[in-house]
Amino acid sequence: MAKNDLIGGSLWEQYSKKVADRMNNPRHFGELTEEDATKLGGRLVVANEGAESCGDTVRLFWIVGDEDEVIKAAKFKSFGCGTAIASTDMMAEMCIGKTVEQATKITNLDVEHALRDTEDQAAVPPQKMHCSVMAYEVIKQATAIYRNVDVATLQDKDIVCECARVSLQMVEDAIRINDLTTIEEIADYTKAGAFCKSCIEPGGHEKRDIYLVDILARVRGEIEREKNPEGVVEDDFLTLSIVKQIKAIEGALDQYIRPALASDGGGIELDDVQAGDDGNIHVYVKYQGACKGCAGSVAGTLSFVEKTLQGTLSDKIRVQVA
């Protein structure tokens, strides 16, 4: 195992046995040549991809069949950590036997799942999840070279994080598959929001069409509604006493909202809860720490808080700053 994959020794226990094995014994490490392509009746494709955040690079070799566009062989060379080696090795294996079009649908989450020992246990520590993104991106590069097109035409349309090239679908999948509840967990699993942070919430140096706080609130709300398809969460909340409503709101703040704000040195305090004449539940909050007086707090953070409470408790909730 690569030394730079070890942090205090305890990180080793968070790797699956499949990952550990492929770190030391990759099945598809090596090169393919024009001679190999001729023997297999295909075309040689060589693509390179690098991750600026950690300095890792990978070179992918494909032999694509002349008649059917099936990837007949795949090998790689990786210059990076053990996790990148294991991820790219599995990615190369997953490409073999697929058409080029089918290979482009392989994601870093597919690679991570294939490396799991059990369905419910992640294959790599959260902070190393980004290593599999490089394997995902090099497939796009190889496909672009094979089709003789600009790789930009193959990129996901809905890119949430430009720094890490993370798509909306990737973030949504990571939240659902791993039951993520905080922005920090999203960054650990996908690297979205780990760099310039403009994609986390409004107020960064680059305006985005969609932010991680909104995605997290929406997907968490969908998950809660799927768990309660009859809407019992909302019905129960509206019929609770004011004391129990406050307790439920505090619980949601603790689980979903305060951890996200704490990552930027901010906080939030529940000030009051009132039933309005309009049939809505009006929740009044006060900001703490870095959130207090922040230019983005009125629009971005307030929207995040309201959408999260609506998704997890009741769509009748309206949030205001006290």
Task: Assess whether 131 carries a catalytic annotation.
Answer: yes
Token digits of residue 200: 């986390």
Rounded-to-integer distance, Cα 233 and Cα 227, Å: 9
147-155 long-range CB contacts below 8 Å, 24 or more apart?
147/100, 154/104
Q: Please list, residue by residue across 151-178, b when 16 or more beta carbons sit within 10 angstroms of its beta carbon and e when fewer do.
A: beeeeeeebbbebbbbbbebbbbbbeeb
Q: Please tell me which residue in 81, 131, 199, 291 is annotated as part of the active site.
A: 131
- Distance of CA 170 to CAs 95, 109, 224, Å? 19, 8, 20
In degrees rounded to 5, what are phi and psi of residue 82?
-60, -35
Taking a C-beta distance cutoff of 8 angstroms, is the pair 194, 163 a contact? yes
Where helices occur in 34-107 by DSSP H, the ranges are 34-40, 82-95, 100-103
Catalytic-labelled residue, pool 54, 163, 196, 294:
54
Active site includes 54? yes
CA-based nearest residue to 142, from 234, 61, 240: 61
Candidates 66, 81, 107; CA nearest to 19 is 81
Q: What is the dihedral of CA 53, 58, 64, 69, to 10 degrees?
A: -20
CA dist., res. 115 & res. 206, Å (int) = 35
Size of the chain, expressed as the number of residues it contains: 322
Residue 313 and residue 231 in contact, taking contact as beta carbons nearer than 8 Å:
no
Active site residues per annotation: 54, 131
